[in-house]
Amino acid sequence: MSILINSDTRLAVAGITGREGSFHTLNNRAYGTNVVGGINPKKAGENVEGIPVFANWADCVAETQANTAMIFVPPPFAAASALEAAAAGVAVVIIITEGIPAHDELKLYNQVKRDYPGTTIIGPNCPGILSPGEANVGIIPASFFKPGNVGVVSRSGTLTYQIGNELAQKGFGNSSIVGIGGDPVPGSSFIDIIELFENDPQTELIVMSGEIGGSAEEEAAEYVKNHVTKPVVAYIAGFTAPEGKQMGHAGAIVSGSAGTAKAKAEALEAAGIRVGRTPTQTAEIAMEILGAPVA
Amino acid sequence: MDLLEYQGKQLFGKHGLAVSDGKAVTTVEDAVAAANEIGYPVVVKAQVLIGGRGKAGGVKLAANEEEAREHATNILGLDIKGHITRTIWIEHASDIDTEYYASVLLDRSAKKPLVMFSIEGGIEIETVAEETPEKLIKYHVDPLVGLTKEEAIKIATDGKAAADVIDGVADALVALYEVWIEEDASLAEINPLIITPDRQVKALDAKVTLDGNAAFRHPDHADLGDKANADPIEVKAAEQGVVYVKLDGNIGILGNGAGLVMSTLDVVAQHGGEPANFLDAGGGSDAAKVKQAVELILSNDSVTAVLFNIFGGITRCDEVANGLIAAFGDLKPTVPFVVRLDGTNDVLGREILEKAALPNVHAAKTMDEAAEQVVALAKGN
């Protein structure tokens, strides 16, 4: 088992005809993901290496029964495309696009919650999801990861690879790796993903990788304390970040005393979650808890 | 992007919020002319993006031309916690009966816009929240509907605004919400929102932060912010589409992906080093981008060593290696570099670097090892 995407995933991609969109779509297909269609209103009827292109999400879903969407279109159009996918009945919508206005994300989140509660949004500004051995949707370099019992959820893409790689070098594989993105209003939060890992029989340990800004890590700490039986290990980036400076991600900013790495680490530790001080140490804690993996 | 007070007030005025007439000026002569035109008494206010302007002597009342000249002379050029005052705002002094507080911001936890209102204005709102939380009204707005006048009246009433200004306060809240939505703000705050003796409701200050991601639909926002006090390297980086934040140390940092770069800064600090900057070269960095980034890092004279920490996803390590070689060819850096390449095409990238045998470039296998090396090199060891 894995979470959110697996061998039953039927993926369609908005922005499939773009340079990045086509590159990563074909990468995902080469990994074994079942890519059934793409969207581009101006190129309906064409195909990308055999993947049919549709004018809109409704046509695509009717024709291909796509159940998973990947959004690669530019920021001004990305939220609208994600909403259209949800309206067409797609169950999991993964938004890779970086740079979407926060208000667009805010309206998207609230509208999907109200009108299409059956749809899960992942991202925006995220690397996607990898369920090793089953499916890859997004830009995670899959060759570094193999199937296993560690679930990873992270706000940062490259930091996910770093921690995933540290785990891989110690012999661990992953049930799923989920990037929830570094924006102020992510479609899914740590809690949503941790809940899925808690209910996933393959996952025996959960690694969460957070960063400065907002209070999602503190909320996750509270949730884990009250609802999660599996061990959770955390890492937080941004201890040296100065106040008031946005550290790359739109959501990564310390404002006043709120959102500091120190406060987050303390909240997690108070909830009984061990926090690694470096990515390497985070992987070492995971190994201490699970024991060395059986080769 | 944070706006100066007068820029915020101009946005307020555009959406129907009452503000005092005023003028932004950059010279003493213009300040005096503006004060004469507006009519005394006037307030002379330093326009800097930092709190505590009043305590620092950056806000003064002038009753006549002589005082206006004196205050403008003193305030222009005034250093307020490292922010040099280059613009002052002259506005007609307001008579104040009462000071309230109002703001709209994004509640990331609730994933809703949050309207806050209090009749305890003019002081730090954090203090109100801590000491008399019952006096701070917090109201979540449905972003699919917006803030209605009825809701705004309820907020003003619940907050115990004076009965004769409830309608005026409600109008101000609705206008402030409109500023927040239509200008793509992440914060729109008025402290104080004043009630004048003749019962007018007016914004005496303005604190507005705009969402840079929404800049594409606001061409009129391009000139806002405190450009004069921005770090020149940060400005250049932004023009190149690279995220660079200047820090106080001496170890230049380049990485790909915001999270990994933040983590790199932390690991360097844990090894006793002090990062000189945050630089996220971004996904898919090609050789040209890497070269530009090296140039940015080295344009900070404090840098005595540089760390490259790359975990390639979209980014290909061979491209990074080629970019570094190109940068060395053009820039001929004199400080040592430590380079850690992992991820997509890492073996190839390391081979390219090894063959190029750049002077004073050290390869590291892991992030920890890289941090340890660069800290030693920065100290001259």
Res. A58: pLDDT tops 60: yes
User: What's the token pair of residue B87?
Assistant: 């613009």
Among chain A residues, CA nearest to B262:
A238
β-sheet bridge partners, residue B201: B195
Rounded alpha-carbon distances, angstroms, from residue A213 to A98, A119, A190, A278, B103 = 17, 26, 14, 19, 20
CA dist B358 and B350 (Å) reads 12
Q: Do A162 and B211 touch (CB under 8 A)?
A: no
* Nearest by CB: B213 against A111, A160, A250: A250
Q: Quick check: helix, strand or coil at residue A165? A: helix
CB of B293 within 8 A of CB of B326? no
Complex confidence, ipTM: 0.92
Contact A252 B280 (CB under 8 A): no
- How close B174 gets to chain A, by Cα (Å)? 17
What's the confidence (pLDDT) of residue A295?
54
Residue B275 C-alpha, separation from nearest chain A C-alpha, in angstroms: 9
Residue whose entry in the numeric block shows the structure tokens 């959102």: A259
Specify the DSSP class assigned to residue B217: G
Model confidence pTM above 0.90:
yes
pLDDT score, position B365: 87
> Is the Cα dihedral B8, B9, B10, B16 positive or negative?
positive
Instruction: Give Cα separations from A46 to A16, A50, A71, A77, B97 (angstroms).
Output: 11, 9, 19, 21, 69
Whether residues A278 and B367 touch (CB distance < 8 A) is answered with yes
Q: What residues of chain B lie within 8 A of the CB of A101, using their CB?
A: 184, 211, 213-214, 217
Beta bridge pairs of residue B115: B104, B139
Say if A144 is an interface residue toward chain B (CB within 8 Å): yes
Mean pLDDT of chain A: 94
Most A CBs within 10 Å: which of B1, B108, B221, B320, as the mutation test of the A interface? B108
Reported residue count of chain A is 295
Q: Are B142 and B107 in contact (CB under 8 A)?
A: no
A80 vs B contacts (CB less than 8 Å): none
Terminus-to-terminus CA distance in chain B, angstroms?
A: 40
Q: Please, which residues bridge with residue A208 across strands? A: A153, A234
Contact A43, A17 (CB under 8 A): yes
Residue A135 DSSP one-character state: E
The pLDDT of residue B287 = 79
Q: Which residues of B207-222 are buried (b: 16+ CB within 10 A; e: fewer)?
A: bbbbbbbbeeeeeebe
Contact B106 A252 (CB under 8 A): no
Query: Could you tell me which residues are beta bridge partners of residue B277?
Result: B246
Cβ contacts (< 8 Å) between B312 and chain A: which residues?
A: 141
Interfacial A residues in 61-80 facing B (CB < 8 Å): 75-76
CA torsion sign for A26, A31, A37, A38 is negative
pLDDT of residue A291: 87
Which pair of tokens denotes residue A189? 């939060």
State phi, psi for A261 to the nearest 5 degrees. Answer: -65, -40
* d(CA B348, nearest CA chain A) in Å: 16
| Selection from A136, A284, A135, A273 nearest residue A206 by Cα | A273
Position A242 scores a pLDDT of 87
Contacts of A144 in chain B (CB under 8 A): 343
Measured from the Cβ of residue A50, the count of other Cβ atoms closer than 10 Å reads 7
d(CA A260, CA A213): 7
CA distance A251 to B106: 11
Contact B261 A247 (CB under 8 A): yes
Q: Could you tell me the two tokens for B222?
A: 């391009």
> Residue A24 contacts by C-beta under 8 Å, 6 or more apart in sequence?
A72, A96, A138, A139
Tokens 């250049």 sit on residue: B236
Angle ∠(A126,A128,A131) on CA atoms, nearest 5: 150
Question: Is the preceding peptide bond at B41 cis, omega within 30 degrees of 0?
Answer: yes
Note the Cα A232 to chain centre separation in Å: 17
Question: B154 CA to chain A: closest CA distance, Å?
Answer: 23
- Lowest mean pLDDT of A248-252, A261-265, B117-121, name the range: A248-252
Whether A295 contacts A171, CB under 8 Å: yes
Q: Which of A110, A184, A235 is nearest residue B144 as measured by Cβ atoms?
A: A110
**B-interface mutation test, from A240, A246, A277, most B Cβ less than 10 A away:** A240
How close is the nearest chain A Cα to the Cα of B222, in Å?
16
Tell me the catalytic residues of A: 249
Q: Active-site residue numbers of B?
A: 101, 189
Instruction: Tell me the pLDDT of chain B (381 aa) as tens digits.
Output: 899 999 999 999 999 999 998 999 999 999 999 999 999 999 999 999 988 898 999 999 999 999 999 999 999 999 998 889 999 999 999 999 999 999 999 999 999 999 999 999 988 888 888 899 999 999 999 999 999 999 999 999 999 999 999 999 999 999 999 999 999 999 999 999 999 999 999 999 999 999 999 999 999 999 899 888 888 898 888 888 888 999 999 999 999 889 999 999 999 999 999 999 999 987 666 778 888 999 999 999 999 999 999 998 778 899 899 999 999 998 899 999 999 999 888 999 999 999 999 989 999 989 999 999 999 999 886
Residues of A in contact with B262 (CB under 8 A): 156, 159, 211-212, 237-238, 240-241, 247-248, 252
pLDDT at A211: 94
Q: What is the pLDDT of residues B41-76, one digit of tens each?
A: 999 999 999 888 989 999 999 999 999 999 999 999
Alpha carbon distance B306, B321 (integer Å): 14
E strand or H helix at A234, and its extent?
A: strand A232-237
Mean pLDDT in residue range A145-158: 94
Taking an 8 Å cut-off on Cβ atoms, the answer to whether B213 and A256 are in contact is: no
CA pair distance B265, B254, nearest whole angstrom:
10
Chain B residues in contact with A241 (beta carbon < 8 A): 262, 265, 278
